Chains A and B, each alone.
Chain A
């Protein structure tokens, strides 16, 4: 079942769940902006902009706390079952990922606000360029992961995992750039170490995007794929059902969205029967 089209008998339940999902997406939007602004501040050497990011970090934490509170209250009041339970668990996991992305943005902003003053110019130029490239990849991944969450689309997980491999490659290239700068001027090693932390932060954002996309697989299919490799997710991507689940209420037909092989076969037999 890939949709929650029908409402609960208790309508307040729908309102509560929708409010939680909206809060999660709002938090996602804020976190995306935090990363974007932090990297821009870093690349432009704009300390004021970086401080704005640091000031906004409390808003990210507020979302974290509020969404968790609302989730706990909803579990206590409504005793969610089935897909509702999975939605709440997925939201909790996704919020944890977003909160950490917020922390990474904070680290980048702190570097941009304070630490790059004595950084050698060539290293800074390289760092700015690499950080921009990496952030472009990481932010696109995060945006797509949140979008997949919003649309409840488990297929994004494989694609985002592949892009994370790309991001990791960029990270290693950027590390090499920093190492070569450090070798030219060993007295500035401290600045290089700081730069490496910035790059690592961007690399971690990709991991969190990957995590969020995998929570969507759990949300929709009930399968925990957090520790599966990309190949497993690719199988899932290829067999993902095209349309939504049938809701004609006829008993003998199971809904979509279990094992990939089953889905393909079921689709075939359905066509054959009609």
Chain B
């Protein structure tokens, strides 16, 4: 990578930092996972590492110099990436490239994995999500996650959606709770199909309906970001199309990060695409450009189905 590009990138990443009103938001915060005595995170993006523009104006979430280790294995290497408002960013790459691992950093799912260590800085609206004071349950409400296999609770359809608002105290009475459940199911495009059977178990629904129920459950607690880890890989094409249509609609209200094995799906649903390879973030760019004219050979090899 040449120096001109490196400089350009430095300029780009310094801009959002300058915008921070109090100066220390996102800076000098100590991730709970960081070892004592480890150097403070460098909040600047790393010039020359990733091809394309890793930053966006006014991001919801920013990652800088994120590393993930599973014991000795270095699973994510120095990744800088912003997630923008009202847009879908797709993370693609071959198996084991780190895309899911990276996604799981964004709502601290990796905390639950024995031997996993995360370094670097990840900020949500300018605040470090790995801060010791950060309530992880609260974080996971703000940064929701939808998984590959639909995983409704073994409860009624109603309770699946109502559970989150209840524990987060979002409804003061039954009427408000009913309203949240109804709105969430409507937004997830499921209301018409389930309004007459809300008391039936969530597991009685079809796979695609279960996945939309999980999305409704995520929406019910007013997240800012919805993360989706292969949300359609267990679904048939029609259920997949419904979810993709839903993603496009949800984009009006939320930022969405989606990990997918299907390049066609990434091309269909996202505005930005990030290509991971062996733990490195290789290239980030507008989806239209990534799929027609990628700049890195590894990206090209992957999206065209060549050996890479």
Residues of A within 8 A of B (CB): 1, 6-10, 13, 79-86, 221-222, 245-247, 249, 251-255, 258, 262, 265-266, 268-269
Task: Kindly supply a per-residue 1/0 record for chain B positions 85-112, scoring 1 wherever the CB is within 8 Å of any chain A CB and 0 otherwise.
Answer: 0000000000000000000000000000
Cα A10 to Cα B304 with chains together (Å) = 10
Interface of A is mostly: loop
Does B51 contact A83, Cβ atoms closer than 8 Å?
Answer: no
Does B300 contact A82, Cβ atoms closer than 8 Å?
Answer: yes
Does B307 contact A9, Cβ atoms closer than 8 Å?
Answer: yes
Does B295 contact A255, Cβ atoms closer than 8 Å?
Answer: yes
Residues of B within 8 A of A (CB): 1-5, 48-49, 51, 263-264, 267, 277-278, 280, 282, 291-301, 303-308
19 inter-chain pairs at a CB distance below 8 angstroms, sorted by A residue, are A1-B297, A6-B307, A8-B305, A9-B306, A9-B307, A82-B291, A82-B294, A82-B300, A83-B300, A85-B291, A222-B293, A245-B297, A246-B297, A252-B1, A252-B280, A254-B51, A254-B296, A255-B297, A269-B2
Does A7 contact B278, Cβ atoms closer than 8 Å?
Answer: no
Cα A221 to Cα B307 with chains together (Å) = 21
| A247, closest chain B residue (CB) | B297
Does A6 contact B306, Cβ atoms closer than 8 Å?
Answer: yes
In the assembled complex, which residues on chain A have CB atoms less than 8 Å from the CB atom of B298? 249, 251
| A78, closest chain B residue (CB) | B305
Interface of B is mostly: mixed
Cα A1 to Cα B304 with chains together (Å) = 13
In the assembled complex, which residues on chain B have CB atoms less than 8 Å from the CB atom of A81? 263, 267, 291-292, 303-305
> Contacts A13-B305, A79-B264: A265 and B2 contacting too (C-beta < 8 A)?
yes
Cα A6 to Cα B179 with chains together (Å) = 56
In the assembled complex, which residues on chain B have CB atoms less than 8 Å from the CB atom of A84? 304
Among B5, B293, B296, residue most surrounded by chain A Cβ atoms (within 10 Å)? B293
Cβ contact of A82, chosen from B1, B3, B278, B292, cutoff 8 A: B292
Query: How far does the Cβ of B239 sit from chain A's closest Cβ, in whole Å?
Result: 20
Does A254 contact B308, Cβ atoms closer than 8 Å?
Answer: no
Does A7 contact B296, Cβ atoms closer than 8 Å?
Answer: no
Does A253 contact B291, Cβ atoms closer than 8 Å?
Answer: no
Among A10, A80, A82, A269, residue most surrounded by chain B Cβ atoms (within 10 Å)? A82
Does B305 contact A254, Cβ atoms closer than 8 Å?
Answer: no
In the assembled complex, which residues on chain B have CB atoms less than 8 Å from the CB atom of A85? 291-292
Does B304 contact A80, Cβ atoms closer than 8 Å?
Answer: yes
Given contacts A83-B304, A255-B300, 14 further A-B contacts (CB under 8 A): A1-B300, A7-B306, A8-B306, A81-B291, A83-B300, A85-B291, A85-B292, A251-B296, A251-B298, A252-B280, A254-B297, A255-B296, A258-B295, A262-B2
Does B1 contact A254, Cβ atoms closer than 8 Å?
Answer: yes
In the assembled complex, which residues on chain A have CB atoms less than 8 Å from the CB atom of B307? 6-7, 9
| A80, closest chain B residue (CB) | B304
Cα A60 to Cα B292 with chains together (Å) = 30
In the assembled complex, which residues on chain A have CB atoms less than 8 Å from the CB atom of B267? 81
